[in-house]
Structures are given as structure tokens and as C-alpha cells.
Amino acid sequence: MRFKIELEVLKHYTDSLLPLNYQYELSSWIYKVLNHGDPEFAKWLHSKGYGDNKKRFKLFTFSNLKVEKYKIHADRLIILSPKVILYISFYPLEAITPFVTGLFNKQEVTIGDKISNVNFIVRSVEKQSEPEFTDEMEFRCISPVIISYIDKNKEKKYADYMYPKGEKFNELFRNNLVQKFNVFYKEEMNPDDIDFDLEITSIPKSRLTTIKAYTVDESKLKGYIFNFKIKAPEKLIRLGYYAGFGEKNSLGFGCVGLRD
């Protein structure tokens, strides 16, 4: 299920400086709120999630913050309006609805790093109506999509971040989606057996995100913002919409919205 969360800046918004790299802090807040409601579920989701020893997925994602008025200065987002919108999306759908609605409402949260932070309060939590899913749909990224690949033939075993219109992107995008489906439903769908097509319909814009900035565990992730058309079994598209497309979904990557 997907929720629209309306946040309000608690202090005077002309003084509000948010780091551009806020995804890890938002993810931590989501886990913290879930922990208040069900510590065992939150612990399981954070440490294990859905899957086995080979592949595990958290099956939730969230959007970038949508700010009505803002400026960007260096690595800071200057918030110039009091209201901020966040979309959070979970799979599976039905069981989590009343749980989330009650937990997030009226929560206060501070997002930021050691340089600057912003205090918010949740003013409303609204469950979003479900789109009419079909086997061909158009989406726009509301957070970057990450697809990576490790070439086992190379001496250095580090991940390359795939460009959306480059070689292997479509195949890896499809395989990731099928892996999530197989892990959750304990099935063995073969990616090569499905009718699948992915068309990137806009110029991809790269986004380099720093996770755990200014700490010894700092790392950088590269994703892309773009529009796309996807043809696949409806059940796979539905899962991708709610759980996120691509990798690192629980850190706020791979969240999409319908094309207007």
C-alpha cells in the first residue's frame, strides 16, 4: 500500500537547511516508527526481510521529498515553504494499512546531519488509491533507480552502476523484479520466459547519493531519474510499483509514480 505523508517544518522555514543526502536518515526514521508499533516486525524487516541466504529484499520504498519552494546551495537544500510531501510504499499491501496510518500520524522527526537539520511534524497520513494495473504502463521516477552489475571477469570486484539506456540495464532491471516476486511468493519464475519490454522515454538524469555522510561508513550510490514504459505481467508491475524498481529500495530508491 502507498501512503502520502504531509510533513510540516516546525521551525521558521526560511531558516531550514536540509542536506541533499537525506535518504539514509529518512530510512532510519521509518524503521524507528515501525519499531514503536511492532518491535519484532521492525527488527525482522531491518535485519532479514523477505528471502534466503542468497537474496533478501525489504519490499518497501519511499520517494524523494517534494518541496513546493526551495533553493539549492552546495550540498544543502534550502526549504522556502512549510509543507513537504513524502510517499512511502509497502508490499505486501493489505495487512500494513491500519498499522502505518496510526503510527506515522503526528510523529515528529529531525532529518539531517552534523552540519544542518530540519525538524518536521507529520500533519496527515493519507492512503493512496490503487492504480488500475495492466501489463503495459508508463511511470516516472520520484526517486532514483539503481541498477548495478559486477563483472566477475574483472580483477576488481566492485559494482558498476548501469546507465538506463546502456547494455544490460533492461535485463538486470527485469531480473531484479522477478527475483523479488520469486522471493516473496516462493516461486521459480524464469525471467527469460516472461513477455517483457522496457523503454526509457526521457533523458536519464544521474543522481549521486551519499549514504551516512561524514562518518567512517560513508558510501556513494549512483542512480538515475527518468520516465519509462514497461511491458510485463501485471503482477510484476504491481509489485515494482509498491516495493520499488531496481536496488536499495528501503534506502529510498526506485520509487515511481504514474505518468501524468
In whole angstroms, what is the distance from residue 203 CA to residue 221 CA? 19
Asked if the model's pLDDT at residue 104 lies above 60, the reply is: yes
CATH number, domain 136-258: 3.30.70.1900
Q: Which CATH class is domain 2-127?
A: alpha beta
Q: Taking a C-beta distance cutoff of 8 angstroms, is the pair 158, 143 a contact?
A: no
In whole angstroms, what is the distance from residue 120 CA to residue 84 CA? 9
Asked if the model's pLDDT at residue 47 lies above 80, the reply is: no
Q: For residue 153, give the 3-state DSSP assignment.
A: coil
Asked if the model's pLDDT at residue 12 lies above 70, the reply is: no
Q: Residues near 208 by Cβ (< 8 Å), separated by ≥ 6?
A: 220, 221, 222
Same fold: 2-127 with 136-258: yes
Cell of 179: 527475483
Q: Taking a C-beta distance cutoff of 8 angstroms, is the pair 133, 141 a contact?
A: no
- What is the per-residue pLDDT across 112-170, written as a single tens digit (0 to 9) for each? 888 888 999 999 989 899 999 999 999 999 999 999 998 777 766 678 899 999 889 99
Mean pLDDT check: name the lowest of 60-69, 145-154, 246-255.
Answer: 145-154
Domain ranges within the chain, ordered by starting residue: 2-127, 136-258
- What is the per-residue pLDDT across 216-226, written as a single tens digit (0 to 9) for each? 888 899 999 99
| 200 or 48: which leads in pLDDT | 200
The pTM for the full model equals 0.90
Q: How confident is the model at residue 107 (pLDDT cuts 50, 70, 90)?
A: confident
